[in-house]
Structure 1
Amino acid sequence: MDVPDIPPFSLRQLAYLVAAADAGTMAAAAERLHVSTSALSDAITELERVTGTRLCVRRRAHGLTLTSAGAHVVGHARPLLAAARELSISLASPDGELSGPLTIACYPTLAPTVLPPLLHDFGAAHPAVELHLLEVTHEELRGRIETGEVDVAFVYETLVPGNPSRARLFELPAHVLVSAGDPLADRATVRLEDVADRDLILLDAPPSSEHTLSLFAARGLTPRIRHRTSSYEAVRTLVGRGLGYGVLVQRPLNPASYEGYPVVMKEIEPAVPPVGIDVIWSSDAAPTPRVRALIDFACSIDWPGRSAS
């Protein structure tokens, strides 16, 4: 019987190198791993010795930079470390039960729609899965799926950092939001030409602001912006008080603002292109069983606007 070759390095050494690459400095990586900087540095030095290759350049004032060989090792080490973690989790789990941590990232404007069924229904079906939530912007999400810090993310189709795997969940066209007392509230539809000269309460959070302005630009219009806010609910509240109108994509069932003022959603005429909402995950390796289960669950939900997908 052939004896498998045993590599001259350990998973711990690989984990230390990956942590240093992600953190950018030895000190920051050591703090994240709760080890001393000297212990982490010594482990990477030993990894370089046994591989016979310089893996990183360390500069006290400029942090740590991977060499081409170091980047190659880190790229191969990530799936190895992920597989080792999954093996440890599976051995500690009852047969057939999904368990272990699962980090979900979501754009803030999508969170009220996407997160409740995941936390309630998926969480109830798989109680041993530890769901961790991150509300992040496009820029804050960048690179975190590739490093494994985020398992799945719920995003708008127009803002997807990197080149992840993805599945479409639903699509929704933007609508105009007005107060119940607005003269436009009695109309069946609203044209953007009807509101361009009125006060706009702009949801100033990517990609919402860019999307709203692009809808007007496509018609040769420039809206008159009265207030900007990064809060979706603040837009609804200001509109409810009659301070202007809004252009939003998400469609909450509650027909009133946070303060209780009634607001009315009006479809835009002519119809505008819908915005797609996707779930994304790493394309570098096959998803773990619990990640696959969450993706399948998300794709099975009867989301609002699902029929348009």
Structure 2
Amino acid sequence: MSPDSPIPDFTLRQLAYLVAAADDGTIAAAAARLHVSASAISDAISELERSLGAHLAIRRRAHGLTLTSAGAHVVAQARPLLAAARELATSLAADGALVGPITIACFPTLAPTILPPLLAGFAAEHPGVDLRVVETTQDGLAGRIESGEIDVAFVYETLVPGNPRRRRLYALPAHVVLAADDPLAAQPTVRLETLVDRDLILLDAPPSSEHTLSLFAARGLTPRIRQRVRSYEAVRTLVGRGLGYGILVQRPANAASYEGFPLALREIEPAVGPVGVDVLWSADADAPPRVRALIDFATSLEWPAPR
């Protein structure tokens, strides 16, 4: 492309095909997802390379597609361009209303608290917005906010890959979950030293597991883990059966396990610091109006407080 040319020689479609192939790892996978032929994507990438005068990707039949340094640069620059193009098309059809998709990521342990008011309340106010939910752990967020694959994420105050913008929704200290007939349930608070020789049902999902173990480590203690489970409700169910105790942050209104066994929630003594729950979004690009509206809606709600 000539430096004096007012119009680039490449197209948004060529950029989109390169980004898709980079994301999927192979041209065949990108073609299947986009419902086009593999040759269409391959030809588009070749045309883009000719237009830019740079080799963007190494294509090997058995090893998929690998971006060159120039290709990685183009993909990074193409993402906000493609997002802006999608927003332009959406805004012209909106007639002033908020429309279009929002992809929401949420930690599984937060989903029962965060998602219902968003999917009910925000959706009722803005029926033209399509809310799409992705439940994922901290590890599953890597790069997905920066790439634009996820618009907003609801997470615990913790280390999240990248440097996204954030707002605090609420903060709760961890508490001990006991079977209602456990002798410790008769006490208003529980010391970790009292629990250390008992069986712990550990919520083994980052960052919950790390936080629980850090509470003990801060006091020079090592808990005796009986079971590691990935589900918040599995912890409460096993505790309700009398198989151990749990340490959790979220506080559901229903004080019974999934099976209906009564549970007791007790604060930890001495008090532990609260765990923040934040909403995150990309710092690399301006959030479209519908995403900003969702963030404002989420931060305006009354979220749970310690009981």
| TM-score (ref. length: structure 1) | 0.95
Equivalent position of 1:231 in the other structure: 231
AA aligned opposite 1:63 = G
Equivalent position of 1:194 in the other structure: 194
How far apart, CA to CA, are the structure 2 residues paired with 1:243 and 1:52? 65
How far apart, CA to CA, are the structure 2 residues paired with 1:22 and 1:227? 37
Equivalent position of 2:240 in the other structure: 240
1:33-59 Cα offsets, whole Å, 9 max, x none, are 111111110011011112211111212
Equivalent residue of 1:171, what SS? strand
RMSD of aligned Cα (Å):
1.5
Equivalent position of 1:67 in the other structure: 68
Equivalent residue of 2:98, what SS? coil
Equivalent position of 2:277 in the other structure: 277
Question: Which deviates the most, 174-183 or 62-71?
Answer: 62-71
AA aligned opposite 2:118 = L
Residue 27, structure 1, aligned to residue 25, structure 2 = no
Equivalent position of 1:99 in the other structure: 99
Shift of 1:305: 3.3
Equivalent residue of 2:150, what SS? coil
The number of residue pairs the alignment matches comes to 303
| TM-score (ref. length: structure 2) | 0.95
Alignment of 1:206-225 (within 5 A): 206-225=206-225
Equivalent position of 1:257 in the other structure: 257
AA aligned opposite 1:218 = A
Shift of 1:4: 8.5
1:266-296 Cα offsets, whole Å, 9 max, x none, are 0001011111111111111000111111111
AA aligned opposite 2:282 = S
Equivalent position of 1:294 in the other structure: 294
1:68-109 Cα offsets, whole Å, 9 max, x none, are 22222212211111111011111112x221011111011111
How far apart, CA to CA, are the structure 2 residues paired with 1:159 and 1:135? 18
Residue 143, structure 1, aligned to residue 143, structure 2 = yes
AA aligned opposite 1:280 = L
Equivalent residue of 1:193, what SS? helix
How far apart, CA to CA, are the structure 2 residues paired with 1:225 and 1:69? 49
Equivalent residue of 2:79, what SS? helix
Shift of 1:183: 1.2
Equivalent residue of 2:169, what SS? strand
Equivalent residue of 1:294, what SS? helix
1:125-179 Cα offsets, whole Å, 9 max, x none, are 1111001111112222212112211111111121412221111111111001111
Equivalent residue of 1:206, what SS? coil
AA aligned opposite 2:97 = E
Shift of 1:224: 1.4
Equivalent position of 2:53 in the other structure: 52
Equivalent position of 2:15 in the other structure: 14
Moved over 6 A (4+): none
| Preserved CA contact (<8 Å) 2:139 2:206 | no
AA aligned opposite 2:229 = T
How far apart, CA to CA, are the structure 2 residues paired with 1:51 and 1:233? 53
Equivalent residue of 1:28, what SS? helix
Equivalent residue of 2:20, what SS? helix
Alignment of 1:153-172 (within 5 A): 153-172=153-172
How far apart, CA to CA, are the structure 2 residues paired with 1:213 and 1:45? 52
Alignment of 1:68-83 (within 5 A): 68-83=69-84
How far apart, CA to CA, are the structure 2 residues paired with 1:119 and 1:4? 47
Equivalent residue of 2:292, what SS? helix
Residue 36, structure 1, aligned to residue 37, structure 2 = yes
How far apart, CA to CA, are the structure 2 residues paired with 1:109 and 1:120? 19
How far apart, CA to CA, are the structure 2 residues paired with 1:271 and 1:5? 64
Equivalent position of 1:90 in the other structure: 91
AA aligned opposite 2:161 = P
List runs of 5+ in structure 2 lacking aligned partners: none
How far apart, CA to CA, are the structure 1 residues paired with 2:36 and 2:113? 40
- Alignment identity in percent? 74
Equivalent position of 1:303 in the other structure: 303
AA aligned opposite 1:297 = F
List runs of 5+ in structure 1 lacking aligned partners: none
